[in-house]
Structure 1
Amino acid sequence: MKITAAVVREHNKPLTIENDIDLDGLKPNEARVRIVATGICHTDAVVRDGIYPTPIPAVLGHEGAGVVEEVGSAVTNVEVGDHVVLGAAYCGTCTQCRSGNPAYCLHVFAEDFGGRRRDGSTSLSKNGEQISSHFFGQSSFATHANVVQESLIVIDKDAPLDIVGVLGCGLNTGAGSVLNELKPDPGTSLAVFGTGAVGSAAIMAAKIAGCTTIIALDIHDSRLELAKELGATHTINSRDAEVVIDQLMEITGGEGVNNILDTTGIPALLTRAAKSLAKRGTLATIAATASGTEVPFEIGDSLIQGWTFKTIIQGSSVPQVFIPRLVELWKQGQFPFEKLVKHYELEDINQGFEDSADGSVIKPIVRLSR
Structure 2
Amino acid sequence: MKIKAAIIREKGKPFQFEEVDLQSPQKGEVLVKIRASGVCHTDEVAQNQMIPVPLPAVLGHEGCGIVEEVGEGVTEFEKGDHVVFSFGYCGHCKSCLEGKPYACENFNQINFGGVMSDGTRRLSKDGEEISSFFGQSSFATHSVVHQNSIIKVDKDIDLDILGPLGCGIQTGAGAVLNRLKPAVGSSLVVFGCGTVGMSAIMAANLCPCSNIIAVGGNEESLALAKELGATHTINRKKCDDIVGEIKKITGGGADYAIDTSGVEDFVKKALACLKFLGTAVVLGVTGDLTINVQEELMGEAKSLVGVVEGDSNPKIFIPQL
**After the TM superposition, which of the residue ranges 1-10 and 297-306 deviates more from structure 2?**
297-306
Q: Hey, what's the Cα distance between the residues in 2 that align with 1:280 and 1:187? A: 16
Q: Are the structure 2 counterparts of residues 5 and 58 from structure 1 closer, same or farther at C-alpha, using a change threshold of 3 Å?
A: same
Q: Give the corresponding residue for 2:258.
A: 261
SS at match of 2:144: strand
Counterpart residue number, 2:77: 78
| CA–CA separation in structure 2 for the residues paired with 1:321 and 1:301 | 36
Matching of residues 46-125 of structure 1 within 5 Å: 46-125=45-124
**Aligned partners of 1:301 and 1:41: how far apart in 2?**
30
**Sequence identity of aligned pairs in percent?**
48
Residue 280 of structure 1 aligns with which residue? Answer: 277
Structure 1 unmatched runs, 5+: 327-370
In structure 2, what is the equivalent of residue 336 of structure 1?
A: none
AA paired with 1:276?
C
**What amino acid is aligned across from residue 274 of structure 1 in structure 2?**
L
Q: CA RMSD in A?
A: 1.5
Question: How far does residue 302 in structure 1 lie from its aligned partner after superposition?
Answer: 5.7
TM-aligned CA distance change 1:241 to 1:51, over 3 Å: farther
Q: Report the alpha carbon displacement of residue 301 of structure 1 after superposing the two structures with TM.
A: 8.1
Q: Using CA pairs under 8 Å that are at least 6 residues apart, name the structure with larger relative contact order, 1 or 2.
A: 1
Within the candidate set 137, 152, 159, 2:157 is matched to 159
CA contact (8 A) 2:115 2:135 kept: no
Return the TM-score normalized by structure 2. 0.96
Mapped partners of 1:115, 1:202: distance in 2: 30
Q: Can you list the C-alpha shifts for 1:54-92, whole angstroms capped at 9, x where unaligned?
A: 111111111110111111112232222111000000111
Cα deviation for residue 298 of structure 1 reads 5.0
Gapped runs of 5+ residues in structure 2? Answer: none
Q: Is residue 270 from structure 1 mapped to residue 284 from structure 2 by the alignment? A: no
Distance 1:299 1:272 in 2: 16
Equivalent position SS for 1:258: strand
| CA displacement, residues 177-222 of structure 1 (integer Å, 9 cap, x when unaligned) | 0111111111111100111110011011111111121000012222
Mapped partners of 1:91, 1:317: distance in 2: 15
Is 1:313 the counterpart of 2:315? The answer is no
Do the aligned partners of residues 301 and 319 (structure 1) sit closer, same or farther apart at CA in structure 2, a change above 3 Å counting?
A: closer
Name the TM-score, length of structure 1 as normaliser.
0.84
Amino acid at match of 2:54: P
User: How far has the Cα of 1:121 moved from its partner?
Assistant: 2.4
The verdict on how the C-alpha distance between 1:301 and 1:259 changes in structure 2, with shifts beyond 3 A counting, is closer
Matched residue pairs, number?
A: 321
> The residue matched to 2:57 in structure 1 has which SS?
coil
What is the rounded CA distance, in whole Å, between the counterparts of 2:280 and 2:238 in structure 1?
20
Q: 3-state SS of the aligned residue for 1:299?
A: helix
Aligned position for 2:201: 203
